[in-house]
């Protein structure tokens, strides 16, 4: 599709990629409607060996972590579209394996998903980043004269002569061809001014494009993650209703339906339009290099931006694994029984989907920082509640009746309850017996708790992807996004392992998660203040006001020049008001 934007007397048609995002979202909706349902119910549904759900998910995310090392070169070779198609096929097999849960079938299938997941997720992130890059390259930039003049002032002395040291640094930063000897002497001011004009234009254009791309990355990640989270809502509502109305005998038919839906998602991916990477600027002098498996880990330990993003990404994996594992199998199962797990988790996905959409809209207009602060507050509140709330023991997990009666040693339930059932009768609730009726307050708390967590998670899942897509361009972007999924999956694997090792130490797990949330948020503050602003548009004004050079990709909006003059104690121009509020470079219509 194409949106029309007016540039002077001409009308410029800008190609947008909303349809691409819609098709991709539809494919992920189907795949993860099936997978999220299977994953959420894996730790609470009956029918398999003890702790099978935890072992499956630990194997999946441990494999996922290792496989992320080898993703960048494959995506470079086959492209993100085919990476997503190949990576999604194991999900169909994994959902099918749930029909016959066992260590011999389920664990290998989950391991296979761990191999495909990095291709699927990193491919999707690279694809969305390319959509933003390509769309941003078509936007009209308007008159850049004032912005170029502002940048030129940072490289000249008060008498109008050019600062050769600053000019040389700017020429190298923006890869403008020049003669080092010429730039090292100030006796060729006319020729130096030509070079200054070239680098100023290139710098301002790059900054404008970066600003537009930043907004588009936020928009497309919001459009993508909203249906992804919504898929869990639909899948779990359907599964919960089927299980309640048709009983445990419906499990087989439920997962047959999920296998079909997952297969439809894979088929939809075939129709996703191909999007190529933007070619490097001819003036950059840079050449695209093929990513290697070493790039992923190298970037994590050599790039400050990537290193400071890792703690919050790792925490996101830990926290999601807690919700899928401990919250369902311990909090919900003990409060409201395992058969109602789907209703609670459907609430999680619904709130997550709505919050993802709203957060992306707010971030496009006001920046990411308010939303990141909201996510931090919401999830700290959740962990504090979990730490001090005593989970009620309304339901007791029990084995099959025959195992209880035969005193079998493989009964892993809390206890065998004599609920008044006669010999040969089935349990009212196949694997749990109600010993106390849940109160309204208890049920309300588990729903409110998961909703508060979902608000924070909607931001921690989608925003880091958009930040990395903005921080890194295509060559490094693949390695950065592979890094993101690697550390997130490592968090998943570790938390599922802790679910087994610390099964009797619930408060210890909560304390670890609370500490990791605080560490992740602190690292984001360090990143924003000392390394790279998370919302660079507003920070550029402060640097310019101090006569400091702007960072790469920072714009200086012409509408803010009155603020800049006021900050420097310079006289305002006619009609200017120093109280003019900050406005982003592009109007909201460009990214909606």
In percent, the amount of the chain with pLDDT more than 90 equals 33
Q: How far apart are CA 93 and CA 116, in angstroms?
A: 11
Instruction: Looking at mean pLDDT, say which of 233-237, 404-408, 431-435 comes out highest.
Output: 233-237
> For 9-51, what is each residue's pLDDT tens digit?
444 566 788 889 888 988 999 999 998 777 656 555 555 566 6
Q: What is the pLDDT of residue 381?
A: 98
Say whether pTM exceeds 0.85.
no
The average confidence (pLDDT) of the chain is 77
Higher pLDDT, 13 or 530: 530
Q: What is the pLDDT of residue 578?
A: 37
What is the maximum span of the chain, computed from C-alpha positions, in angstroms?
Answer: 103
User: If phi over 0 gives left and psi between -120 and 50 gives alpha, with beta otherwise, what is residue 575?
Assistant: left
Q: Is 556 exposed, middle or buried (0-12, 13-18, 19+ CB in 10 A)?
A: buried
Q: Tokens 């009666």 belong to which residue?
A: 405
Q: What is the pLDDT of residue 438?
A: 94
Q: What is the pLDDT of residue 560?
A: 43
Mean pLDDT for 491-499 is 84
Q: How far apart are CA 17 and CA 37, in angstroms?
A: 29
Q: Give me the DSSP letters along 391-443.
A: ----EEE---HHHHHTT-TT--SS-----SPPTTPPPSBTTEEESSPPPHHHH
Mean pLDDT for 474-485 is 86
Choice among 198-207, 376-385, 410-419, 430-439 with the minimum mean pLDDT: 410-419
Higher pLDDT, 385 or 565: 385
Q: Tokens 């990791």 belong to which residue?
A: 516
Q: What is the pLDDT of residue 571?
A: 47
Q: What is the pLDDT of residue 22?
A: 83
Q: What is the pLDDT of residue 47?
A: 56
Q: What kind of fold does domain 2-139+204-276+292-394+436-536 have according to CATH?
A: Growth Hormone; Chain: A; (1.20.1250)
Distance from the first to the final alpha carbon of the chain: 14
Q: What is the pLDDT of residue 289?
A: 56
Residue 190 has which token pair?
A: 């006319």
Q: How far apart are CA 305 and CA 317, in angstroms?
A: 19
Cβ pair 81, 269 in contact under 8 A = yes
Residue-range domain boundaries for the chain: 2-139+204-276+292-394+436-536, 401-435, 560-586
Q: Where are the alpha helices (DSSP H) in 247-303?
A: 251-269, 294-302
Q: What is the pLDDT of residue 400?
A: 56
The backbone torsions φ and ψ at residue 32, rounded to the nearest 5 degrees and listed phi first, read -90, -10
Q: What is the pLDDT of residue 121?
A: 93
Q: What is the pLDDT of residue 340?
A: 84
> For 337-361, what is each residue's pLDDT tens digit?
877 888 898 899 999 999 999 998 8
Q: What is the pLDDT of residue 14?
A: 64
Q: What is the pLDDT of residue 423?
A: 38
The conformation of residue 10, written as its DSSP 8-state character, comes to: E
> For 77-128, what is each residue's pLDDT tens digit?
899 999 999 999 999 999 988 777 788 888 899 999 999 999 999 999 999 9
Cβ pair 154, 544 in contact under 8 A = yes
């Amino acid at each position: 599709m194409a949106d029309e934007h007016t540039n002077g007397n001409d009308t410029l048609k800008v190609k947008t990629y909303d349809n691409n995002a819609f098709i991709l979202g539809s494919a992920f909706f189907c795949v993860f409607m099936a997978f999220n349902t299977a994953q959420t119910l894996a730790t609470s549904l009956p029918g398999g060996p003890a702790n099978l759900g935890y072992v499956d998910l630990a194997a999946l995310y441990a494999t996922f972590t290792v496989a992320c090392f080898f993703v960048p070169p494959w995506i470079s070779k086959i492209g993100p579209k085919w990476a997503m198609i190949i990576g999604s096929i194991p999900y169909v097999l994994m959902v099918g394996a749930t029909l016959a849960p066992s260590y011999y079938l389920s664990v290998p299938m989950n391991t296979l998903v761990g191999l495909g997941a990095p291709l699927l997720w990193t491919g999707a992130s690279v694809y969305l980043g390319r959509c933003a890059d390509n769309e941003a390259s078509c936007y009209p930039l308007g008159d850049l004269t004032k912005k170029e003049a502002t940048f030129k002032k940072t490289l000249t002395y008060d008498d109008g002569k050019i600062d050769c040291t600053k000019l040389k640094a700017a020429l190298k930063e923006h890869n403008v061809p020049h003669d080092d000897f010429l730039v090292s002497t100030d006796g060729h001011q006319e020729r130096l001014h030509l070079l200054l004009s070239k680098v100023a234009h290139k710098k301002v254009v790059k900054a404008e494009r970066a600003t537009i791309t930043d907004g588009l990355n936020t928009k497309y990640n919001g459009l993508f993650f909203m249906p992804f989270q919504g898929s869990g809502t639909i899948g779990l509502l359907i599964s919960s209703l089927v299980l309640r109305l048709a009983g445990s005998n419906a499990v087989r038919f439920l997962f047959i339906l999920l296998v079909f839906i997952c297969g439809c998602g894979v088929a939809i991916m075939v129709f996703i339009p191909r999007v190529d990477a933007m070619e490097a600027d001819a003036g950059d002098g840079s050449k695209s290099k093929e990513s290697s498996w070493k790039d992923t880990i190298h970037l994590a330990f050599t790039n400050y931006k990537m290193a400071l993003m890792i703690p919050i990404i790792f925490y996101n994996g830990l926290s999601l694994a807690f919700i899928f594992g401990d919250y369902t199998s311990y909090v919900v199962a003990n409060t409201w029984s395992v058969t109602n797990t789907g209703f609670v988790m459907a609430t999680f996905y619904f709130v997550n989907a709505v919050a993802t959409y709203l957060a992306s809209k707010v971030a496009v207009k006001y920046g990411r920082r308010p939303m990141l602060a909201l996510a931090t507050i919401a999830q700290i509140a959740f962990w504090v509640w979990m730490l001090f709330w005593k989970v009620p023991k309304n339901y007791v997990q029990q084995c099959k009746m025959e195992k209880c009666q035969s005193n079998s040693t493989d009964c892993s339930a809390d206890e065998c309850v004599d609920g008044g059932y006669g010999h040969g009768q089935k349990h009212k609730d196949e694997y749990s017996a109600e010993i106390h009726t849940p109160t309204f307050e208890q049920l309300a708390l588990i729903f409110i708790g998961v909703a508060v967590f979902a608000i924070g998670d909607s931001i921690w899942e989608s925003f880091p992807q958009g930040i990395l897509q903005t921080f890194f361009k295509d060559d490094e972007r693949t390695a950065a996004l592979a890094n993101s999924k690697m550390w997130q999956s490592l968090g998943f694997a570790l938390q599922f392992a802790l679910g087994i090792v610390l099964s009797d130490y619930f408060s210890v797990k909560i304390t670890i998660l609370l500490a990791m949330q605080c560490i992740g948020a602190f690292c984001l503050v360090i990143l924003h203040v000392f390394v790279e602003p998370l919302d660079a548009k507003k920070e550029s004004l402060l640097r310019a006001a101090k006569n400091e050079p702007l960072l790469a990709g920072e714009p200086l909006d012409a509408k803010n020049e009155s603020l800049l003059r006021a900050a420097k104690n310079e006289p305002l121009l006619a009609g200017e008001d120093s109280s003019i509020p900050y406005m982003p470079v592009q109007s909201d219509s460009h990214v909606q």
